Amino acid sequence: MKLHRRAVLAGSFAGSLAAGLLPGRLLAQGDGLIRRPIPSTGETVPAIGIGTSRRYDVAPDSDAVAPLRETVAKFASLGGTVIDTAPDYGRAEEVLGRILKETGLREKVFLCSKVAARGREAGEAQIAQSFRRLGTDRIDLIAIHNLIDPQAQLPLLRELKDKQRIRYLGATTWAEGQYGDLEALMKAEKLDVIQVNYAVDARKAAERILPLAKERGIAVMVNVPFGRERLFTLVRGRDLPPFAAEFDCKTWPQFFLKYVLSHEAVTCPVPGTAQVRYAEDNLGAARGRLPDAAQRRKMEEFIDGL
Ligand SMILES: NC(=O)c1ccc[n+]([C@@H]2O[C@H](COP(=O)([O-])OP(=O)(O)OC[C@H]3O[C@@H](n4cnc5c(N)ncnc54)[C@H](OP(=O)(O)O)[C@@H]3O)[C@@H](O)[C@H]2O)c1
């Protein structure tokens, strides 16, 4: 199953290159979503994912799961695949595992989780728990959450990769104070993916982390692309600037996501998405044109001016 999926993906990647498309504009067959390659393999993923922190932490047997199931189903029906979760997100892994089982979507989803544990034994136990909660024997990506104990967890993740229990390994942060440590890890180790915070009003990752990822061939998932409610609060009551239409942007969430996505190092932002209408809206950022360098500067100036 896995090999088949990879072969299909590799085929579409090669086909797109043959058609003369740049990697940043690779299109999936049919769904019109921009896809981006994971540099370590060339496999492509749709360029907008879903984050599950906070909103997927609900009682697994409660009515609160239904809207989340509908959101994931809508996201997948529109071509989305990347879903990010973590053992630290309360019941989110269990809820997501149930949703994937009930919808039969496990094989269509690029499933990302994390490990946040000190010491090898604790790491092994937490990862075993993730497999159980997610109801799967293969997780596509496990990343070291907030750079907790990479010395113990990286060898463990490498072994899991060798055993084909995971396909990619990486590390995450959302704190600028950890950028120095993340940079050192990216230079010292071979990572497939990093996840870092980056938003139109929080651009520090673009100074060193994103260029380094590009140079080292590391895929970049972006967390908190809206700064949670921060950017929405900033633009409340305001219309989009007319130049947003130049890059096919129809809503504020798309404005924020297209900014992030148009950085050449970025593979896939994972906005927290717990409503069907959010899934539709956010995936719209992976359609149509993206802002160029001059338009990106205009976006920054506009936001900085508020
Ligand atoms: N260190 C780490 O590894 C780390 C740290 C932080 C986050 N993450 C990951 O990154 C993901 C994203 O971060 P986040 O969820 O904290 O923040 P975020 O993506 O910046 O913001 C998510 C919030 O934006 C609102 N939203 C989303 N789509 C919208 C739309 N189309 N229209 C209007 N509002 C919309 C929702 O608010 P409401 O739900 O209130 O409506 C949602 O909770 C997390 O879910 C998690 O998977 C990882």
Per-residue pLDDT of the chain (306 residues; tens, 9 = 90+): 333 344 334 333 333 333 333 434 444 446 899 999 999 999 999 999 999 999 999 999 999 999 999 999 999 999 999 999 999 999 999 999 999 999 999 999 999 999 999 999 999 999 999 999 999 999 999 999 999 999 999 999 999 999 999 999 999 999 999 999 999 999 999 999 999 999 999 999 999 999 999 999 999 999 999 999 999 999 999 999 999 999 999 999 999 999 999 999 999 999 999 999 999 999 999 999 999 999 999 999 999 999
Distance between Cα 230 and ligand 1 center (Å): 11
Question: Could you tell me if residue 278 is inside a domain?
Answer: yes
Name the closest-CA residue to atom 47, ligand 1: 51
Question: Could you tell me if residue 2 is inside a domain?
Answer: no
Q: Which residues line ligand 1 (CB under 6 A)?
A: 51-53, 55, 84, 145-146, 172-174, 195, 223-228, 253, 270-274, 278, 281-282
Name the closest-CA residue to atom 19, ligand 1: 271
Identify the CATH number of the domain in which residue 193 sits: 3.20.20.100
140-157 pLDDT tens trace: 999 999 999 999 999 999
Task: State both tokens at 180.
Answer: 């120095």
Give CA–CA dist 232/18, Å, rounded.
40
Q: Could you give the number of structural domains in the chain?
A: 1
> Phi, psi at residue 64, to the nearest 5°?
-65, -15
- Single out the residue of 45, 95, 90 nearest to residue 72, CA to CA: 95
Distance between Cα 212 and ligand 1 center (Å): 25
Bridge partners, 113 (sequence order) = 142
Torsion over CA: 230, 231, 234, 236 (sign): negative
- Give how far Cα 202 sits from Cα of 67, 175, 223, 226, 258, Å: 30, 11, 11, 9, 14
Question: Could you tell me if residue 58 is inside a domain?
Answer: yes
Q: Show the domain range for 286.
A: 23-304
Give CA–CA dist 287/90, Å, rounded.
32
Question: Could you tell me if residue 37 is inside a domain?
Answer: yes
Choose one of 53, 55, 141, 178 to mutate for the ligand 1 pocket test, by most ligand atoms within 8 angstroms of C-beta.
53
In sequence order, what are the residues at sequence separation of 6 or more whose Cβ sits closer than 8 angstroms to the Cβ of residue 13?
26, 37, 42, 43, 44
Distance between Cα 232 and ligand 1 center (Å): 11
In sequence order, what are the residues at sequence separation of 6 or more whose Cβ sits closer than 8 angstroms to the Cβ of residue 70?
276
Question: Could you tell me if residue 18 is inside a domain?
Answer: no
Task: Check if the beta carbon of residue 218 is closer than 8 Å to that of residue 192.
Answer: yes
Question: Could you tell me if residue 53 is inside a domain?
Answer: yes
Question: Could you tell me if residue 91 is inside a domain?
Answer: yes
Choose one of 231, 276, 278, 280 to mutate for the ligand 1 pocket test, by most ligand atoms within 8 angstroms of C-beta.
278
Question: Could you tell me if residue 126 is inside a domain?
Answer: yes
